[in-house]
Structure 1
């Protein structure tokens, strides 16, 4: 448990420092609204797949403080970094490669999280996540585009 919490806290610190220190291409409004959208998506998915169907979870079954550190510490900063450097205005192949690259990063991070015990599976498979990451990341891009149109 100690190793998994250290991995989580180091990950939260690294991602949040990176998100704070990077030169911003997103406005504060875009960061705020896209982060809220990412959190809502994560929470809805977790309510269904973790709490309802018990397919996976953080640390151990049920809700605990470490889950909140993971959700609120990782998702907004990772989402901000992903969207900040998304290649808007570039050819489609670059956008596809960017999403696939981030999907690979998410896959590796999830694999490490499993091995270190901060994440567990009960029926979920790592390859399910590999299939889910590209559409979820594309959804984040579409959300940012919608926010920009609405603004």
Structure 2
């Protein structure tokens, strides 16, 4: 539990204190989208197929701590430093680096005991994170497009 509490504090401090390159409405919209993606994945992979979970199998109120304490903060930090105007190779490396970081962090959560696998593997998550971060970027692009009024 110490690992989780320290993580929530650090991730949120970083998200709060970094100089912002994205607007508040972009942060809110993309954070809500990230939470929705997380909820949909958990409905099937956790609750239906029982491949992984937080703390104990099945629905658990305590799972709201990592869900709401980590996902929005990571989304904000990830998008804030994403090289929107960079080369495709820079963008690919950035997404790959965040996917690796996320998979390693998830592995540390398993080791710390507040996340568990029941048939899931860390490398599955690494592959999923590639898609998740790509979807976050595309959703962010959609939010910016909508804000321009097109």
TM-score, normalising length from structure 2?
Answer: 0.96
Tell me the equivalent position of 1:123.
119
1:73 aligns with 2:69: yes
Q: Is residue 90 of structure 2 the alignment partner of residue 94 of structure 1? A: yes
- Give the alignment partner of residue 143 of structure 2, picking from 124, 143, 147: 147
Unaligned runs of 5+ in 2: none
Q: Offset of 1:93 from its aligned partner?
A: 0.6
Distance 2:131 2:101 in 1: 15
Q: Which runs of 4+ in 1 moved over 6 A?
A: none
Alignment partner of 2:21: what SS? Answer: coil
- What aligned pairs does 1:40-79 form with structure 2 within 5 A after superposition? 40-79=36-75
Alpha-carbon distance, 1:127 to partner: 1.3
The alignment's C-alpha RMSD in Å is 0.7
By how many angstroms is 1:116 displaced?
Answer: 1.1
The superposition leaves residues 50-69 of structure 1 with CA deviations (integer Å, 9 ceiling, x where unpaired) of 01111100011122232000
SS in 1 for 2:97: helix
